[in-house]
Amino acid sequence: MNRKTLFIASQKKGLSTVRRPNFESGTIWTQDNLLVLQGIDSECIDLIYLDPPFNSNKDYAARIDSKADGAEFSDRWTPKAVAKERIDLIEAKHPMLYRAIRAAQRDSDTAYLFYMALRLLEMHRILKPTGSIWLHCDPTMSHYLKIVMDAIFEKERFRNEVVWCYTGPGSPGGRQFNRKHDCLLWYSKGDRWTFNKDAVRIPYKDGKPHVGGWNMNAEEAKRYGDRGKIPETWWADIAVAIRSSKENVGYPTQKPLALLHRIIGASSNENDMVLDPFCGSATACVAADIQNRRWAGIDISPKSWEMVDERLRGRQSSCERPRYHRLDIPRRTDPTLLRR
Ligand SMILES: C[S@@+](CC[C@H](N)C(=O)[O-])C[C@H]1O[C@@H](n2cnc3c(N)ncnc32)[C@H](O)[C@@H]1O
């Protein structure tokens, strides 16, 4: 069945959102994700998880004694980060978004937000109408990013802000509390989305649900207790992938598999396509593969492909150069292809 017939067949079945991506599952692109995202067909991704630089004003490098040795990226921002024509394009086509970004007054913050906005606009385009996006950030920029996300995805599509709490050594000085949480902003693209609450239940602390006010008898309480509870919007039960843990590959800012398992388990179904456009050591790709999702990752560092190869050895993965042509529109009239 060719792509067009498949799309029509799926519409007949009432699954108007079934559209095959114009790339294979298991692809890792090692290039600037803006170029790759621009080459992906519209509305073909079920779940996007992104863990971009947080605007931390730091440089990151992998431990030299680790498998990820050689991986590095800079998280410092100056107005040079985004070309003026692209900023003008946002001002002309997305005035609300432009105003939201301009609310940040520091040059480094606006540069970072324009950089993010250009990519988030593409991510919005490639998500299926039933798809979800999880943006991982921290309190440095989460307040601005939420306004940017509202402008791109609409405020009504905001589903949750999950606070991932962890612990670890703190910064010396002791003049304020240690910052030990990240923020995950979940938006759906439309008014239907996947939420597999039963796939991500966790045990109640003492084996029992909190029965206060629920009027549960002992038998009901046991039944609910056995099923486990749906996590709330603060997750304190997932530890960072510390150096001594088996999954740690030494990649700077590597996220724990358990975190990705919960996000992917809740917001996608088997065979769905999961994309991580800042995939680093490919944690999201690995979690997606384990959960029988289709997946693809993008990272500007070629080390990413080595990491996915290492972490998924024995399973199938391939490394592709980006395709600049979309299959869902005539080639020459692609409005999103901005020349560098
Ligand atoms: C915070 S790390 C991601 C870590 C990842 N979640 C993991 O668990 O290993 C951010 C990644 O974004 C990548 N990156 C930064 N700018 C990029 C760009 N324009 N295109 C693609 N990747 C980029 C960096 O190389 C880095 O690997």
Q: Over pLDDT 70: what percentage of the chain? A: 84
16 CA to centre of ligand 1 in angstroms: 32
Please say if the pLDDT value at position 18 is more than 90. no
Q: How far apart are CA 26 and CA 317, in angstroms?
A: 4
Per-residue pLDDT of 212-246, as tens digits, reads 555 677 777 777 777 889 999 999 999 998 777 88
Take residue 16 and report the two structure tokens written for it: 């108007």
237 CA to centre of ligand 1 in angstroms: 25
Domain 45-168+178-201+237-333 classified CATH 3.10.20.340? no
Judge if the beta carbon of residue 32 lies within 6 A of ligand 1.
yes
> pLDDT tier at 210 (50, 70, 90 boundaries)?
low
Angle of helix 142-153 relative to helix 95-102, nearest 10 degrees, comes to 170
Output the pLDDT for position 12. 43
Output the pLDDT for position 298. 94
Residue 183 CB partners (closer than 8 Å, separation 6+) = 136, 137, 138, 139, 142, 161, 162, 163, 164
CB 17 within 8 A of CB 43: yes
Per-residue pLDDT of 264-300, as tens digits, reads 999 999 999 999 999 999 999 999 999 999 999 999 9
| Domain assignments of the chain as residue spans, ordered by start | 45-168+178-201+237-333, 203-231
Q: Specify the pTM.
A: 0.89
- pLDDT, mean of residues 139-149: 97
Judge if the beta carbon of residue 136 lies within 6 A of ligand 1.
no
Closest residue to atom 27 of ligand 1, CA basis: 280
Per-residue pLDDT of 153-168, as tens digits, reads 999 999 999 999 999 8
Closest residue to atom 22 of ligand 1, CA basis: 299
Q: What is the chain's mean pLDDT, rounded?
A: 86
* Region of residue 284 (left: phi > 0; alpha: psi -120 to 50; beta: else): alpha
Take residue 149 and report the two structure tokens written for it: 């996300």
Mutation choice for ligand 1 from 300, 304, 312, CB with most ligand atoms inside 8 A: 300
Q: In 3D, which of 194, 179, 176, 337 has the Cα closest to residue 263?
A: 194
Q: How far apart are CA 324 and CA 89, in angstroms?
A: 20
3-state secondary structure of 128: strand
Q: How far apart are CA 75 and CA 58, in angstroms?
A: 5
CB atoms within 10 A of CB 306: 20
For the ranges 170-174, 197-201, 311-315, the maximum mean pLDDT occurs at: 197-201
Strands 58-61 and 181-188: unpaired
Report the atom number in ligand 1 closest to the C-alpha of 307: 9
Take residue 70 and report the two structure tokens written for it: 């050689």
281 CA to centre of ligand 1 in angstroms: 8
